[in-house]
Amino acid sequence: MIPFSDFGGDGPTLCFLHANGYPPECYQPLFQALKPHYRVLSMHQRPLWPNSRPEDLHDWYPLSADFLQFLDERKLESVTVIGHSMGGIAALRAALWQPKRFQNLVLLDPVLFPPGWMALWNLVRALGLGYKLHPLIPAAQKRRRVFDDLERPFAAYRRRPTFRYLSDDALRAYISGITRLDTRGGYALFYRPEWETRIYYTSVWRDFDLWRGLPRLEPRTLILRGAETDTFLALTAFCVQRLHPRIQIQTLPRTTHLLPLEAPESVSHHILRFLAPTNHETPR
């Protein structure tokens, strides 16, 4: 059985798929805003599975297969799914594979790049330079794994530009989400750097199928992107809407790729407005 976290809440079930390096508990402020309206379940993707092996992952296709298996195990049909970053791609591909199982998709700054960028990454991989030239891999490989207490990483992360738009409460939720009590004392990183780097390395290169499939995407879809994102680019948004004009895309000011952590109230507002029955273009 695929592990998951049940955050509770009232109303229909909403499935959430987390980003690479961001376990579900990192999103607590967003979940708090959604729980008055939905019961929030978050599947643990395979980097969080006990005894999972990064070397077994060669592309992101298994992430979508995992999610479909999770829906089978929980007997969930006609679901609404929210996916952030890697989780957005896992949800999108699953919806292209089995569209009837999905009612609504909300993709938060998904890792979808223009085809030309993908071709360039494939060339980098073919030359054996993927681990050296990916902009995020070196930092992930050097990530600190153990902490005496959580105040020290809070102080360090507070100074990092990456977290400039996170409130103190959101940053503390993130730090709490990425760590667990260590049996040897202190705290240990919950999301292994070996998995984080493997996810980065195996990303993007097989995603041409997503571009081919987008015109026939069936579920109602909302994409929220950060105005200062380096991931779901304005060019990508333009290409997506040319292929599928009914996909709604909103850009949130003063946000980056981490928009669900940076602006949980604004993100939840857009999600709830999109999911409101009066906003459905066609009855279901």
- Residues 65-108 pLDDT 10s: 999 999 999 999 999 999 999 999 999 999 999 999 999 999 99
Return the pLDDT at 280: 59
What domains are there in the chain, each with its CATH number?
A: 4-279 (3.40.50.1820)
Distance between CA atoms of residues 225 and 282, nearest Å? 25
pLDDT digits (tens, 9 = 90+) for 185-231: 999 999 999 999 999 999 999 999 999 999 999 999 999 999 999 99
Structure confidence at residue 277 (pLDDT): 79
Dist. CA 90–CA 220, nearest whole Å: 16
- What average pLDDT score do residues 7-11 get? 95
User: 223: Cβ–Cβ under 8 A, 6 or more apart, which residues?
Assistant: 106, 107, 108, 110, 232, 237, 240, 247, 248, 249, 250
Residue 283 has pLDDT above 90, yes or no: no
pLDDT at 169 over 90: yes
pLDDT at 282: 40
5, 68 Cβ separation under 8 angstroms: no
Taking alpha carbons only, the member of 33, 60, 65, 27 closest to residue 268 is 33
Task: List own/partner pairs for 28-34 with CB under 8 A and 24 or more apart.
Answer: 28/173, 28/177, 29/169, 29/170, 29/173, 29/261, 29/264, 30/260, 30/261, 30/264, 30/267, 30/268, 31/7, 32/264, 33/264, 33/265, 33/268, 33/269, 34/9, 34/268, 34/271, 34/272
The pair of structure tokens assigned to 178 is 């990425």
pLDDT at 157 over 50: yes
